[in-house]
Amino acid sequence: MNILITGGAGFIGSNLVRRMVKKYPDFRVVNLDRLTYAGNLENLRDVEGRPNYTFVKGDIKDKALVKNAFERYGIDSVMHLAAESHVDRSILSADEFLNTNVLGTHALLEAARSFWKDRPAGPAGRPAKARSVFLNVSTDEVYGSLPEAGSFTESSPCAPNSPYSASKASADHLCRAYNKTYGVPVITTHSSNNYGPYQLPEKLIPLMVLNAMEGKPLPVYGDGLNVRDWLHVEDHCSALEAALLKGSVGETYNIGADNEWKNIDLIKLICKILDELRPGSPNVPHASLIRFVKDRPGHDLRYSIDSSRMRRELGWAPSMGFEEGLKSTVEWYAGNLAWCERARSGEYMEYYEKNYMRR
């Protein structure tokens, strides 16, 4: 099977590319990424020389480029992760979110509709080569905010509260329409918050780890009582693999770990791990660095995912315990400070220039 993974140099995308390239040597994995501030090819050094891996630099909005990728590599399935995904950035300016998340998804759907027009999707469970799937990787944020009880199910209504989540909900609706109108074999997944290695340092967990190690304030929005369900990125990638190979076309699957944490409690746990990891640090106790700041506009109170359908129908379950996963994540950032600095400064782009453009 020839798989196009969009956004494969990003946080979740690079973990997914690495998994699929190593686990399925008979699959060709084509990684299409524009290499914005969030795309880092350093994340994929260990697979870039493998014969079943190909990198294509390009924008998913470029219809000619996307069409050429489908034709050149004989794309059988798409795992679509390319997206602008940082809520704070979307509040400052929504333009790029609409362009990438909506128009980019549209360009991919059009290419799939054209290239697969005479190809049946095939039922789940058949050999991978007999089946084409457009896997639309989305977020639980499209559902909006929950009160203190209940969880999002696949039938929960869309009620996005930020420009980012609205753009992802728009993409979800486009994918549904292309399935219903044109028969494009779409499967959509909605996952909870991811954590793990290679996440951009502006996101919550790596930001808190690095600020704490550097003795900088740990900014907490509002009262810190906003709740998120945290999922390790490797568990998310295993769920995406299951959805691609075993999911039912036209359906939606929620992916979560039943692992809800208030932001303030999560940050205190990170501080506790760092206290144990670096007891001689002048910043111990790291929790003394916590500072409450003005809440961001439209800040959702609580997310909670009911992933029982995914577990029941596709046999998936998360395997990473949270405290174990969080500790290994904190240790990864503490042990990869050079990567973090290059990611924060943008110097990682030199790797692309050196290893791809100057060959």
Domain ranges of the chain: 2-357
How do beta strands 260-262 and 227-232 pair? Answer: antiparallel
pTM of the predicted model as reported, rounded to 2 decimal places: 0.93
Give strand ranges (E) for 185-259: 186-191, 193-195, 218-221, 227-232, 252-255
- Tell me how far apart the alpha carbons of residues 184 and 326 are, in angstroms, rounded to a whole number: 38
**Phi, psi (rounded to 5 degrees) for 106:** -60, -45
CA gap 152, 144 in Å, rounded: 9
What per-residue confidence (pLDDT) applies to 148? 79
Q: Helices 105-115 and 63-73 sit at what angle, rounded to 10 degrees? A: 40
User: 86 and 203 in contact (C-beta within 8 Å)?
Assistant: yes
Query: From CA 191, how far away is CA 305, in angstroms rounded?
Result: 8
User: What is the pLDDT, as a whole number, of residue 147?
Assistant: 85
The catalytic residue positions are 140-141, 164
Q: What is the pLDDT of residue 86?
A: 80
Phi-psi region of 334 (alpha: psi -120 to 50; beta: other; left: phi over 0): alpha
Give the distance from CA 98 to its chain's centroid: 17
In angstroms, the CA 22 to CA 32 distance is 18
Residue 137: closest CA among 244, 24, 259: 244
What CATH number does the domain located at 2-357 have? 3.40.50.720
- Spatial separation of the C-alpha atoms in residues 243 and 330, rounded to whole Å: 29
* pLDDT score, position 31: 98
Q: Which amino acid is at 186?
A: V
Q: What pLDDT does 128 receive?
A: 44
d(C-alpha 247, C-alpha 252), whole Å: 9
Who contacts 144 (Cβ-Cβ below 8 Å, separation ≥6)?
158, 159, 160, 161, 165, 300
Per-residue pLDDT tens, the chain, 359 aa: give them: 999 999 999 999 999 999 999 999 999 999 999 998 889 999 999 999 999 999 999 999 999 999 999 999 999 999 999 999 888 889 989 999 999 999 999 999 999 999 998 665 555 544 444 579 999 999 999 999 998 789 999 999 999 999 999 999 999 999 999 999 999 999 999 999 999 999 998 899 999 999 999 999 999 999 999 999 999 999 999 999 999 999 999 999 999 999 999 999 999 999 999 999 999 999 999 999 999 999 989 899 999 999 999 999 999 999 999 999 999 999 999 999 999 999 888 765 665 566 555 54
